[in-house]
Amino acid sequence: MRHSLLALLLGALTLGGCATLGMGRAGDELVGEALRMQTSRGQITHLLFQGDGTVRAAFGESVVTGRWSVENRNLCFYWTGAPRECWPYAAPFRRGETRALTSDRGNAIRVTRQ
């Protein structure tokens, strides 16, 4: 009886762990991935997200590094010498999907996950 109860408990814990494996933190789908951002004036920037919270932005011949995080359903960026800027982030980005977004600073962009 004791072994049966232990087996049931271990089985329940295993199934519970499996159920939570697919549930990561908001933004986890971006780690190691790139987003293509196009401004309303047509400027293209590629953003590469790292798991340590850094993000690289490449545009033209320039590359800058900043930080990113997901806060209160917003994807936020922190660039040196610039104020924080956040985009609405209601759901994970899917590969090939393009979204039209307006940041909390009023910048209208089109974002595509590469």
pLDDT of residue 25: 79
| DSSP conformational letter for 49 | E
- Asked if the model's pLDDT at residue 109 lies above 90, the reply is yes
pLDDT 10s digits, 4-44:
433 333 343 333 444 434 456 778 899 999 999 999 999 99
pLDDT digits (tens, 9 = 90+) for 76-101: 999 999 999 999 999 999 999 999 99
Average pLDDT of the chain to the nearest whole number? 83
Q: How far from each other are the two terminal CA atoms of the chain, in whole angstroms?
A: 54
Structural contact between residues 88 and 73, judged by C-beta atoms closer than 8 angstroms: yes
Query: What is the pTM (predicted TM-score) of this model?
Result: 0.75
Q: Is 25 helix (H, G, I), strand (E, B) or coil?
A: coil
Instruction: Return the number of other C-beta atoms located less than 10 Å from residue 89's C-beta.
Output: 19
What is the arithmetic mean of pLDDT over 91-113? 94
- Return the pLDDT at 11: 40
